[in-house]
């Protein structure tokens, strides 16, 4: 049996810490293009009460997205203890490519994955770079694709990176800008033989591209006078919240049950770190679907409070911090089953069950 297991992981967290108090001087506008009447102190206090986000990381002006992705990827390859020339695919999940700090325009040619391969100095011309543009679930979808490549014996080692510089595409006049952050995370998925199935066990992906297509999109600023960029994140927050609560728990339940497991077999749920209130509500709905009232302590580890929402980077960063004992008391143990799950632009939802050897 060919298994697909995570053999190494790495992450990159920008040094610049941006706290909620740093937004006290911002000029926030509402959806009607009018300045918000509430004082910023009240807006920020309400924001923190809902999302639990107190701080986030922003990349420095001298770095771009592919720099962060390469840094995280390098650490993952070193952790896997393999020669980088053994990597068969570089899969890079992102949404905006490389965006410079001054021009703030999308740049995806050459592809981000090709740039990451170049910056890692991988010379093997049979190492194929693929980009995944799939909203916040992009890294997990990249991991699902990597699993299928390995199961079909097309690859031995695949680097899967999620990286984003959202600080360069947020609307400076939208209070939702406080949700978003920068960062990168990566894993190496490797082929392993064995009689027992370990590593990736099962996955489910759901794509709802009808009315929900516009819940997250690019658009102009809420401030009609702001014209520096039209490539800004526009988010229908309430609709996304309701969508996530309705769609994510059934997909996770399907993934668990299709793996031949129950909720009691799962040690942890690693959910996309989007908004603490939303994530807690999703977990509550999931637990209820299995007929339970509450989850065990530490069942859903979180980083959103101090790292914010770095889109495709949240899941691999969360995994890496736990794997390297940097998010105590959370730990992974041999035989543990965990679930990865994410929801985001498209709208897309995915979930994966993973078993540690």
Residue 297's pLDDT band (cuts 50, 70, 90)? confident
| Chain segment 300-336, per-residue pLDDT in tens | 999 999 999 999 999 999 999 999 999 999 999 999 9
pLDDT at 229: 76
At residue 315, the pLDDT reads: 98
Nearest CA to 186 out of 274, 78, 83, 75 is that of 75
Which overall architecture, per CATH, does domain 199-355 show? 3-Layer(aba) Sandwich (3.40)
Q: How confident is the model at residue 6 (pLDDT cuts 50, 70, 90)?
A: very high
Cα–Cα distance for residue pair 271/275, rounded to 1 Å: 10
Q: Does the fold of domain 199-355 match that of domain 2-193?
A: yes
* pLDDT, mean of residues 228-252: 90
Question: Which residue, 19, 292, 350, 4, is CA-closest to 162?
Answer: 350
What CATH number does the domain located at 2-193 have? Answer: 3.40.47.10
Give me the residue label for tokens 């929900």: 212
100 band by pLDDT with thresholds 50, 70 and 90 = confident
d(CA 107, CA 127) in angstroms, rounded, equals 22
CA distance 228 to 166: 16
Q: At what angle do helices 40-51 and 276-289 cross, to 10 degrees?
A: 30
Q: Where are the domains of the chain?
A: 2-193, 199-355
pLDDT computed for residue 203 by the predictor? 97
Buried b / exposed e across 138-174, counting CB within 10 Å, b at 16+? bbbbbbbbbbebbbeeebbbbbbbbbbbbbbbbbbbb
**pLDDT tens sequence across 206-219:** 999 998 998 998 88
In 224-314, which ranges are E strands?
Answer: 232-235, 266-271
Reference 160, options 82, 65, 87, 245; nearest CA is 87
Neighbouring C-beta atoms of residue 302, cutoff 10 Å: 18
């Amino acid at each position: 049996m060919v298994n697909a297991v995570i053999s190494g992981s790495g992450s990159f967290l920008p040094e610049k810490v941006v706290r909620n108090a740093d937004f006290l001087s911002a000029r926030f506008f509402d959806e009607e293009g009018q300045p918000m009447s509430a004082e910023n102190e009240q807006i920020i206090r309400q924001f923190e009460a809902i999302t639990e986000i107190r701080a986030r990381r922003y990349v420095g002006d001298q770095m771009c997205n592919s720099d962060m992705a390469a840094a995280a990827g390098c650490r993952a390859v070193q952790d896997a203890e393999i020669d980088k020339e053994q990597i068969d695919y570089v899969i890079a999940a992102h949404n905006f490519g490389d965006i410079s700090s001054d021009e703030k325009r999308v740049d995806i040619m050459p592809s981000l994955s090709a740039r990451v391969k170049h910056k890692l100095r991988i010379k093997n011309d049979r190492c194929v770079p693929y980009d995944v543009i799939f909203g916040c679930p992009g890294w997990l979808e990249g991991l699902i694709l990597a699993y299928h490549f390995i199961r079909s014996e097309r690859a031995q080692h695949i680097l899967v990176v999620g990286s984003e510089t959202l600080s360069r595409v947020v609307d400076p006049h939208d209070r939702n800008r406080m949700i978003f952050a920068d960062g990168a995370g990566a894993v190496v998925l490797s082929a392993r033989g064995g009689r027992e199935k370990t590593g990736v066990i099962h996955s489910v992906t759901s794509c709802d591209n009808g009315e929900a297509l516009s819940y997250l999109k690019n658009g102009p600023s809420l401030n009609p006078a702001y014209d520096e960029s039209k490539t800004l994140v526009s988010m229908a927050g309430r609709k996304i919240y309701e969508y996530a609560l309705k769609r994510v728990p059934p997909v996770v339940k399907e993934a668990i049950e299709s793996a031949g497991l129950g909720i009691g077999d799962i040690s942890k749920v690693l959910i996309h770190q989007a908004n603490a209130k939303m994530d807690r509500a999703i977990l509550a709905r999931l637990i209820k679907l299995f007929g339970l009232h509450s989850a065990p302590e530490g069942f859903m580890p979180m980083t959103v409070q101090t790292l914010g929402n770095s889109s495709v980077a949240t899941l691999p960063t969360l995994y890496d911090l736990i794997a390297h004992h940097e998010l105590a008391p959370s730990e992974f143990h041999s035989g543990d089953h965990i679930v990865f799950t994410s929801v985001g632009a498209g709208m897309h939802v995915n979930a994966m069950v993973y078993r540690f050897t």
